[in-house]
Structure 1
Amino acid sequence: MIGGGPTDPEQCNQAASAVVPLFAPGPSETGPIVVQRPDGVIVTTASGRVRPRHEREDRFMQYESHYFEHRSFRFTIEDRVAAGESSIKVIYEPIADPSTYGPTTNFRAWKLYGSAGNGPQYYTFADNGVLTQVAQRRLEKTVTRNARESRPIKVGDIFDFEFGIFLAGFDAADPTSIGDGAKSYYSDTFRYQVGVGGLTPETFDTTGLLGPVESARFGGGLTVPHIAFADGTPVDPEMAFSQLALNTQSPHQQLALEGRRLFHTRFDTGGHSEPYNPVFREQAGKLGPHFNTTSCSACHVHNGRGTLPEPGGAPVESLVLKLYGDDAYGSQLQPQEAPLRLVRYETRQVSLSDGQVVTLKKPVFDAGRPLQASPRLARQLVGMGLLEAIDESTILARADEHDCDGDGISGRAQQVKDPVTGELRLGRFGWKAEKVSVRHQVADALDADLGVTTSIFPRNGAAELSDDDLQRLTVYMQLLGVLPQRNATDPKVERGAALFASIGCSGCHVTATITGNSHPFEELRAQKVRPFTDLLLHDMGPDLADDSGRPDASEWRTPPLWGVGFTREVSGSVHLLHDGRAGSVLEAILWHGGEAKPMRDTVVALPKDSREALIAFLESL
């Protein structure tokens, strides 16, 4: 129902349908990230992966050859400043042996930006030294002064440090070797909050490039620093959605790296999408017999949104047709059955208050014959673990299926049977919120898009992908980090944020929420996040209805907006909404109907400068 309150007032007194929580309360897998011991010392645990270059250099964001082979590490920070002293011990624990005869793994701390007159692009460290090896895979360093400012360390300092990594095999005389791939690496610049605990994207850097204000940290404590050159240009911008979350714990870091390998593996040949990596022979031959693509990364390039070809050109590759009531083609069209092509766009024009005319384009797809179908474009993948960690009660509290408050917004919670237990759970993932968990989403995509079976969706009782590998893929999806908002303190962006709220956009694209305390991963618990979604279904009107012929044809889950401003940089072009019809955030707004029509009409009527401020805000996300 759209506006006006329910036809039957008793409906408002009915309790929300019961759904079984996805996670039961209990301790996390790894325990707390930050602990204060009885002696006052604050202990923080975290993990990282090797990097090919320093933070502000080309290739820093990339994954180099053999990145998944034992090239992660755990580290612990013991902060005695909180106990009244001026010392911090860092303990480094790689999962591969360090080089015995090559250089000792080194340690650099207290960054100095713009050093040696080279400008803010360059930096050195005030403290350059080595780690002391106390066991085969345990090295330590104790820092007693803030070398950047030549004084004792105090509460509130940002202690930033890097590891210079030399793995076994760097020297030919090393008794063991990690094997193929590089042996010498850098790491992230990790930023630690002295006296508080935990890693942060904050920095003392006066250029303001790396340290977002707190409201811009959309992923809470998992927010990835926005790494940029001195002029503000992102380093490796296409990799913006490919970074693992800050504060990722061990062993999750290594599992995610191994999951990334699976994500980039072709299930026909076993080849990796980055050709400098070895063939994953164990996974070869698992594709099909029907499939839309050969690997996860083929549709979700750089973990971003799908794109559409030019009309009349190549077959559509990163959009699928979900089918309804078609016995011949099943539940999803695959190219082995009929190639899907974009044949043309149906256009219409919208005039804005200042006379600007915007052309809207609706794609028309053809598969050789009419189909009852729902087109679904590949979605961006960041922040899924955080969405999974939001308590059911938080989501259901915003549901108002019968518009009992009369505000015109009637979000409906999707209820889905868990494919493993059969229990009724809250749907969160997918364009129609048809998946109850990240694991469910991953297993469904393997089955429907690749024809690869799992224990969740077996074929003839058999699973091709092991549960361990399914878990690796799931962990990778759960821990893809969210980048911070760009230009959050720009007056134009701030004005746009205020308009976003006052117009009513945040009624569905809910600005802020807090994750619960039940997820198995400690790093996903109790995070203040800004995903810009309520995870509910909303009626978006006939213009956005699919051709499924179903009662929910015009209902869509509110898509998260975090990362929307990086779409062009990651995917190379902009295709928004479920079928990729919108080439900009403005076009996406102008397609809104149903419950969102009043907000859409307000945007059309806005003065040009106000509308530009709103767009600037959305493009900063």
Structure 2
Amino acid sequence: MRRLRRAGDHGPSLQKTPRYQLFRGASLAVGLTLSASALAGALEPAGLATSRTDLTPKDQARVLAVTRPTTDFSKPEQFELMQGGAGTSRRDANRDAFSQFSANITFEEEGNFKLGNALFRKNWVSSPSSTQASDGLGPLFNERACQNCHLKDGRGRPPEGDVGSTSMFLRLARDASSAEERAEIADHKVLNFPDPVYGSQLQDLAVPGLRGEGRMHVDYREQEVTLGDGSVVSLRKPSYSVDGLAYGPLDPYTTLSPRLTPPMIGLGLIEQIAPADILAHADPEDRNNDWISGKPNIVRDGLSGALTLGRFGWKAQTPSIREQAADAFAGDIGISTPEMPKSEGDCTTAEKACLAMPNGVQQRLGPVEAPPPVMDLVTFYSQNLAVPARRDLDTPQVLAGKKQFYEMGCISCHTPKFVTLRGTPNKAQAFQLIWPYSDFLLHDMGPDLADGQAVGEATGSEWRTPPLWGIGLTRTVNGNTFYLHDGRARSLAEAILWHGGEGRKARDRFAAADAADRDALVKFLESL
């Protein structure tokens, strides 16, 4: 693999290794906000390590130095171009910029990536069908293929005009309503409770002979914000409802949470950030009084049953890429997997016609519609979609914007750098210095962005800090510039101006800045 190894390992010599790969070790989080004893006490029930065990003291010192936020904005930092480490894609920044495989996987692995890509793009069909390896769709579903939601492996878009909601959906959930249910959440047995009729997700499509559950409806109201220099920005505030409910009303306590599909790049690298490095940024009690109190979402791993760190999803509710893929197969397409073997998908006991529909299980292929080889390949594909290289990172305006990003306090949540674990299942993700610009923690973003839906330890106003790498290629890849969890922001400036709660200080500094500084900060984001 293209990485620097410790003495005694068999790897490329320093003379033959590109400079951006000359790094070993893994990061220590900068500025530990909780004392070691307090953090350990808070996380003891989960059994999560609060310090790194894969680093020597020398490595720890070196990693601490390289991941410390810079104070020099006169030039790019070393290795900054390759924001996805040695796996960074150097291909042209075109519509396929998010669909490239990691540059440091083997030739054999490239074959597995391409097979996974084919399965990711595969359209599933309803049962019974002559294409027995492809049937099992639904019976209720949002789309027929993974790629139809993750458009070009990138960002989804909200329904608008004649554009449907295939890349944005509504999560349906309610809080606990009894002591028993509260105990289930406290024990991490469930994240929340689905609607008794419509389940955990609204599915607007259905196989022949069955009705979809209903359709998302969005209304927008424009509201003007006056910035410090007198310029005015119009923000659109959405409200959500469901049209054409097919099986009666929603439960009165069911909340609607819109979720835009996020980009797929860099997921395998995120999966290999040491939990201790993420947890070191947690400060749930705001002990340093900076008004930033990120906290982890501790969840139960659906595969092992152990408590672990959630790091994927808008509320950090999912611990691994494989579990995320299984959840999407079940909820979005209605396909059963070994991890989630419900062939009826999200059909509930109240939807009897749905439960009576045939499924796509072929006993000769196993007891589920997507057997282990399918999950292996889709997971591998999802783990190895490369992060594109930075662009224009040495221009004066981008460097000035980076300085504004730091000085306005954006890095309090959007942590610039990590280095992945030393021992990873795939060596392509090992020891990589990466630049995701996220702490992967939950933050209260205020009432304007709140969806009112608790997910595990995430409250109705808390969201995981989304990674920013690749955000500047949104228009190139997806032909739009819709941001935030529901796509309400039509530009990066609008996205910043929606920040409330823990993000309000940074938002206010951005709003008070002059136009040149705001433009520079946006140019910096567009270079990621």
Same fold (TM over 0.5): yes
Deviation of 1:518 after TM superposition, in Å, equals 2.5
Partner of residue 68, structure 1:
none
Query: Deviation digits for residues 551-597 of structure 1, max 9, x if unmatched?
Result: 71110000000000000111111111111101111100000000010
- SS of structure 1 residue aligned to 2:225: strand
CA contact (8 A) 2:159 2:168 kept: no
Name the residue aligned to 1:585. 492
Alignment of 1:338 onto 2:187: no
Aligned residues: 411
8 Å CA contact 2:440–2:464 kept in 1: the answer is: yes
Q: 2:121 is aligned with what amino acid?
A: H
Q: Classify 1:223/1:12 alpha carbon distance in 2 versus 1 (closer, same or farther; 3 Å).
A: closer
Q: For residues 122-141 of structure 1, what are the structure 2 equivalents within 5 Å? A: none
The Cα offsets for residues 321-377 of structure 1, whole Å up to 9 and x where unpaired, read as 111142110111111443323342022111112222111112333213665121111
Mapping for residues 587-606 of structure 1, pairs under 5 Å = 587-606=494-513
What pairs with 1:200-599 in structure 2 (closer than 5 Å)?
A: 214-227=79-92, 234=93, 237-268=94-125, 281-311=131-161, 313-325=162-174, 326-335=195-204, 336-368=211-243, 371-459=254-342, 462-548=367-453, 552-599=459-506
Note the 1:18-97 alignment, pairs <5 A: 18-19=45-46
Distance in 2 of aligned mates of 1:297 and 1:212:
35
* C-alpha separation in 2, matches of 1:549 and 1:361: 24
Matches of 2:329 and 2:39 in 1, distance apart? 40
Letter in 2 for 1:329: Y
Residues 1:16 and 1:548: Cα distance change in structure 2 (over 3 Å) = closer
Q: Is the 8 A contact 2:452 2:459 kept in 1?
A: no
Distance of 2:509 and 2:453 partners within structure 1 = 30
Residues 526/247 of structure 1: CA separation in 2 closer, same or farther (3 Å cut) = same
Structure 1 pair 243–21 and aligned structure 2 pair: CA distance change class (3 A): farther
Structure 1 residues 343 and 432 mapped into 2: Cα distance closer, same or farther (>3 Å)?
A: closer
> Aligned with 2:523: secondary structure?
helix
What amino acid does structure 1 have at the position aligned with 2:201? Q
Taking structure 1 as reference, are residues 342 and 502 closer, same or farther at Cα in structure 2, changes over 3 Å only?
Answer: same
Show structure 2 runs of 5+ residues with no match. 1-32, 55-75, 175-194, 205-210, 244-248, 344-365
Contact 2:126 2:138 in 1 (8 A): no
* Structure possessing the higher radius of gyration over alpha carbons: 1
TM-score w.r.t. the length of structure 2 is: 0.73
- Would you say the 8 A contact 2:258–2:486 is kept in 1? yes
Identity of aligned residues (%): 39
Match of 1:185 in 2: none
Distance 1:13 1:549, change over 3 A: closer
User: Contact between 2:169 and 2:216, CA under 8 Å: does it hold in 1?
Assistant: no
CA distance in structure 2 between the partners assigned to 1:290 and 1:473 by the alignment:
22
Looking at secondary structure, tell me which structure has more strand per residue.
1
Distance in 2, matches of 1:418 and 1:14, equals 21
Pairwise CA distance, 1:226: 4.1
- Of the two structures, which has the highest relative contact order with CA contacts closer than 8 Å and spacing of 6 or more? 2
* Aligned-pair CA distance for 1:15: 4.3
Q: Which amino acid aligns with 1:297?
A: Q
Residue 517 (structure 2) pairs with residue 610 (structure 1):
yes
User: SS of 2:495's equivalent?
Assistant: helix
Q: Alignment partner of 1:216: what SS?
A: coil
SS of 1:618 mapped into structure 2: helix
CA–CA distance in structure 2, aligned partners of residues 491 and 349 of structure 1: 31
TM-score when normalising by structure 1: 0.63
Task: Give me the whole-angstrom Cα distance separating, in 1, the residues matched to 2:130 and 2:87.
Answer: 30
- One-letter amino acid matched to 2:200: S
Deviation at 1:21, TM superposition (A): 6.4
Q: Deviations over 1:352-410 (max 9, x none)?
A: 12222111112333213665121111110000000001011111111111111111111
SS of equivalent to 2:322:
helix
**2: CA distance, partners of 1:314 / 1:282:** 31
CA deviation after TM superposition for structure 1 residue 19, in Å: 3.6
Q: Secondary structure at the match of 1:562?
A: coil
Could you list the per-position Cα deviations for residues 211-232 of structure 1 after superposition, in whole angstroms to 9, with x for gaps in the alignment? Answer: 99721210011111142xxxxx
Q: Does structure 2 retain, via aligned residues, the 8 Å contact 1:269–1:281?
A: no
Judging changes above 3 Å, is the alpha-carbon distance between structure 1 residues 496 and 256 closer, same or farther for their aligned structure 2 residues? same
Tell me how far apart the structure 2 counterparts of residues 593 and 502 of structure 1 sit (CA, whole Å). 18
> How many Å apart are 1:541 and its aligned residue?
0.4
Distance 2:398 2:289 in 1: 30
Task: In structure 1, list runs of 5 or more residues that go unmatched.
Answer: 1-5, 28-210, 228-233, 271-278
CA 1:11 to 1:524, structure 2 compared with 1: closer, same or farther past 3 Å?
Answer: closer
Shift of 1:308: 2.1
- Secondary structure of 2:509's partner? helix
For residues 321 and 515 of structure 1, what CA distance do their matches in structure 2 show? 33
Offset at residue 250 of structure 1 (A)? 4.4
